[in-house]
Every structure is written in structure tokens, then in C-alpha cells.
Amino acid sequence: YFRRRIASKLSRVFERSEDEFISSLYAIPVSKKQQSPDFRLSINSLRLNGILPANGDLQTQTTALAHQLKQDSVVEEIFAGPGVINFRVCQTLLIQKVLEQLSKERHEFGMRSELFHGLKKGTTLVEFSSPNIAKKFHAGHLRSTIIGNFIANLKEFLGNNVVRVNYLGDWGMQFGLLGAGFQHFGCQEKLKINPLQHLFDVYVQVNKEAENNDIIGKAARDFFKQLEQNEPQAMSLWKQFRDISVIEYQQVYKRLGVHFDVYSGESFHQQQAQEVVEQLQTRGLLKTTETGTRVVDVSQSGDMSSYSTVLRSDGTSLYITRDIAAAINRMELYNFDEMIYVTDKSQGTHFQQLFQILLAMGYSWAERCQHVPFGLVQGMKTRLGDVLFLEDVLDEAKARMLRNMSQAKTTKDIDDPEDTAEKVGISALIIQDFKGALVSDYKFDWDRVLQTRGDTGVFLQYTHARLCSLIHQHGDGEEGTTDPSLLLDQRSISVLQHLLRYDEVIYQSAHDLQPKHLVNFLMTLSHLAALAHKDLPVKGSTPAVAQARLQLFRGICTVLGNGMNILGITPVEKM
Ligand code: ARG
């Protein structure tokens, strides 16, 4: 509403449409020291959009424009700053409008913003998690799982049609090793009892043996060859590995609150991979090296290092060959408007090459594909030692959280402390992971992750739970009409000003696919909420004041919950 009003003023001065100004206006972060203006317009952005000439003196342009804009009952104050124009909106109107929107839109609060018009709509395919069967599910897969889930949630909230794909590492030479290994050291009984552990043990053992034993190496190559030729016996063993593993993964995903629409995998595309090679051949993109492998020159500069191998000399396909096939197949199936791959940054070159090869093959939609890389997590350990499986991390988070909770005094009225500990523990992991730029590495430290104070997931949940309990005790203030003049204090105004930024923050996160903007926003909201909770008592206030405050708290609680849901965190009501 306010952005529109200001844009309309600007549109009159420049005789252009209001829409051209919407994205140049942004809400100012709340500052502790001074009463900040609510919105800001950067003169540079007008220059960039060709609305103002880029060669004039910036400050002269700024002051001149500030003079031309007239204040009114909605926009009460307009003043020039260095290269910017500040707008302060009528504070009672601010209170009224934000509260109104909060109670009308609830879970959609901020999600219908005009700022989102420029974002990509349609079908978004997000490929994430994608663990390798038989190898360990490491911290990197945890990152991919929660980041991918966040991106998928965000796109879904923005109204895109989202397809969540888990592309299992279920093919390749390692299955030759695993198959051959299982024939030597495997045990059907153990496979039934603890499949991931057993497959992993076999894999470790066979790798060790293969180092000094050529027979194993040959057996592995033979086994994989049999798989590539769809030999029934080998296939049935492989299928057993795969099915059992998927069931195990699903249990962990359930704990994380993550689901997939499709479990695909590299194995699905091994036949198509051969067709890809033929297509590359017909298009003259293939070269044969001295050793008989088939490569694509992705740089067209003839430099060997830019060759990407797509076929081994024995005719078996590679990781990239299957990725090319998978991408083409997904385009045929879903006709996606964008496709996002979430993996650690070491695969950056792989995806660059993948997209280049697709373009070279004439698939211009490769431009709609994007890789979202993330950094390493160092030192993620449990009491049992290095993390082998994701489950260990979740168990550890839960156990530690349960211990912390038993020392807090409120825990006794929680119906299901185990479930709460699990949810809060997972929130803590997610927030820790989402605080910085995804591409950065970070050191993992349990104590820091689970702190109650500071910018942690525990603090976020705690704030949410406190507000829930307040509302539970006193009602949500939604039945009465709030007199805005009762919320003119600095605490309330700060919260409402901060809420004005919600759509911008969602926009930023959707634009660069980084959750940190939303995390920071929610942290600040929690800190503002804690101050408001302390200074604006409900108990002992007049009914009208109590009602107004409850409505404010209800609003904060809703936005906290909405934001947490996008991040992939389940908000708890008690803790
Ligand atoms: N399974 C791979 C790994 O664990 C990740 C798969 C990434 N996706 C892809 N389309 N290549 O490293």
C-alpha cells in the first residue's frame, strides 16, 4: 500500500507508470538509535532505469526531486539524504495498514507483493539431497537436503509449481565394487537388519581389498558391465540395495519434514546416456582419445583440460553422461521454466560443463538451469565419532536438546518432550547452516548451535513459543478493533516498520536463493519481539491496550511461523 502511494507520487512527477518505481523503493531496516524513515528511494536506481539522466549532479537531482514531491496525509515527511530520498509515512496509518494486512492475509502475509512480479513463474524443478547409495550420507548431503527444501518451499510459497527431485547416486563403477563386494563379504541377514550400515561396511571392505587385489578390481568391472547390460541376476541384487536404501532415507526425510515428488537416480538414465552419446556423435561434438574414451571439447579451444569424458573405452557411461540424459528427460517430462541443482561447490565445474554441453547440443533451455553451490561443514562429529549417517546427527541434536530442556523450568508442561526436542534440535541445525552465504565453509560446534541466546534456531523457537503461550493465555486480540493510537510507542512502531520489509527479504532470498536474508530478518524480528514482550505487558493493561498489544503479538507470531516454515523449520508452540 505505502509503496504504491509513494510510487504514484513519483509517477506524477515523471509521467511514467507507477510500476517503474515500485522496485526502486525499499523499506529501511529498523535502527536502534534514531527514528528511521520508513521507505527510501535511491536516485541511482532512477538513473540506472533511465528515468533520470545519468550525467547530472547527483545531489542536485536529489534535492530537486525532493522539492517536487508533495507530502500528504499518507506520506507525511519527505526529505533528501545523500543520493536518496526518505519517506516517512503516517505512523497511525502504518499501524493500521500492517495490522489489517496481518489479520486479513495471515499465512500469505507479504506473499502477494508486487515486488515478486519480476520473479520467474511457472514450473520449478529443484533437485536436491541426492545421496549415493552405499556410500555414507555425509554433512554435504544434509546441507543439500535442507537448502533444496528451503528453495522448494520458497518457490512454492511464491506460487510456482514445484517438482522436488531426489537424484540418487545409484549407478556407476561403485556399484560394480559394491556388487562384487557383496558377493564376497555380504550377508543377506545383515542387509535386512541395518542396510545402510551393512552396505557401507561392504563398500569400505571391498575398496580396501581392491587396492592390493586385482581379482576384486576385475570382478567389480565385470559386475558393473553386467549391470550396464541389464543382466537379471546383477540387476536384482542392485535393485535390492536401492529399494532398501530408499526406505531408510525416507525415514530420515520424514524426521526432517522433507518430501520428494520424484525419486529418480542415475540408473534411470543409463540407456538414454547411450542415445546422448549418439546425438553428440551426429552433431560432431565427440572426439576419441588415444585410450579410446569419448570426450566432448567444452571450451572449443582445443585445450585438453576442458575435455569432458562422456564414454569409457569399454562403452560404459559416466556421471556427466547420465546428467545430460537426465536433464533432457526432465525437460521432456516437466517442461520446466527453471531447474535448480543443489550440491557442494566442488561440483561447480561439472555443472558448468553440463550446461555448456547441453547448449552445444542445441538445447537453449540449458540457460534455465542453475547450480546452487554450498561450502563444507567442518568438524561435524557425534559422541560416537565421525558422522557416518544423517540419522546420527539428528539423534545427537535431539539428545542434546532434551538434556538442555530438562534443565529449563518450563519443560514439564510439554506433552511430548522428545518430539519438541527433535524439532528444536533440527531448527538449530538449519539456522546454523543458513546464517551465512551458502558457498562459505563453516565450523560446526554443538554448543554454539544449541545456545538459547544469540542468533540460534533455539532462540527463534523460544520466541515463537513464548508468543504462542501469551496468546494462549490472553487471546489473539483479533475479536476487537485496534485503536492505532495505542501502539504509537517505539517498541510497537519498530516491529511494524520491520514487518514492512518482509516482502523485500523474501524477494532477495528468491532472487539469489540465499536463506540468510530471511534468517536475519527473523532474528531481528525475534529480538524486537523480546523487547516488546518485556516492555509492553498485556496483563494489567486496560482492555483496549491489551487487545492492541495482543494483535501485534499475534502478527509477530504469524510472521515468525511463516518464515520458519519457508526455511523448513516446524514452529513449536511450547518448549
Ligand atoms: N549423488 C551426487 C553426490 O552425492 C550428487 C548428485 C548431484 N546431482 C546431479 N544431477 N549430478 O555427490
| pLDDT tens sequence across 154-206 | 999 999 999 999 999 998 888 899 999 999 889 989 988 888 888 888 888 88
Q: What architecture is the 123-282+314-378 domain classified under in CATH? A: 3-Layer(aba) Sandwich (3.40)
Q: What is the DSSP string of 141-168?
A: HHHHHHHHHHHHHHHHHTT-EEEEEEEE
- Ligand 1 near 130 CB (within 6 A): yes
* Residue entry with cell 554433512: 139
CA distance 171 to 59: 62
Model confidence, pTM: 0.93
Span 59-81, pLDDT tens digits: 999 999 999 999 999 999 999 99
Whether 138 is catalytic is yes
* pLDDT above 80: residue 320: yes
* For ligand 1, atom 6: residue with the closest CA: 130
> Mutation test of ligand 1: which of 125, 127, 128, 130 has the most ligand atoms closer than 8 Å to its C-beta?
130
pLDDT bucket at 327, cuts 50 / 70 / 90? very high
- Over residues 351-379, the mean pLDDT reads 94
* pLDDT above 80: residue 380: no
- Ligand 1 near 167 CB (within 6 A): yes
Span 266-289, pLDDT tens digits: 999 988 999 999 999 999 899 999
- Give the distance (Å) from ligand 1 centre to CA of residue 51: 45
- Give the distance (Å) from ligand 1 centre to CA of residue 152: 17
Q: Look up the ipTM and state it.
A: 0.98
Give domain 2-89's CATH number out of 3.40.50.620, 3.30.1360.70, 3.90.45.10, 3.30.70.270. Answer: 3.30.1360.70
Reduce the DSSP state of residue 317 to 3 states and report it: strand
The ranges of the chain annotated as CATH 1.10.730.10 are 390-567
pLDDT bucket at 385, cuts 50 / 70 / 90? low
CA distance 301 to 135: 37
Instruction: Give the H/E segment covering residue 38.
Output: none
The ranges of the chain annotated as CATH 3.30.1360.70 are 2-89
- Ligand 1 near 169 CB (within 6 A): yes
- The overall average pLDDT reported for the chain is 91
Span 196-251, pLDDT tens digits: 888 888 888 888 888 888 888 899 989 988 998 899 999 999 999 899 889 888 98
* pLDDT above 80: residue 422: yes
Whether 135 is catalytic is yes
Residue type (1 letter), 326: A
The ranges of the chain annotated as CATH 3.40.50.620 are 123-282+314-378
Active-site pick, 97, 136, 141, 464:
141
- Give the distance (Å) from ligand 1 centre to CA of residue 301: 28
Q: What architecture is the 390-567 domain classified under in CATH? A: Orthogonal Bundle (1.10)
- Over residues 112-129, the mean pLDDT reads 92
- Ligand 1 near 323 CB (within 6 A): yes
Q: Integer distance in angstroms from the first to the last C-alpha of the chain?
A: 37
Whether 527 is catalytic is no
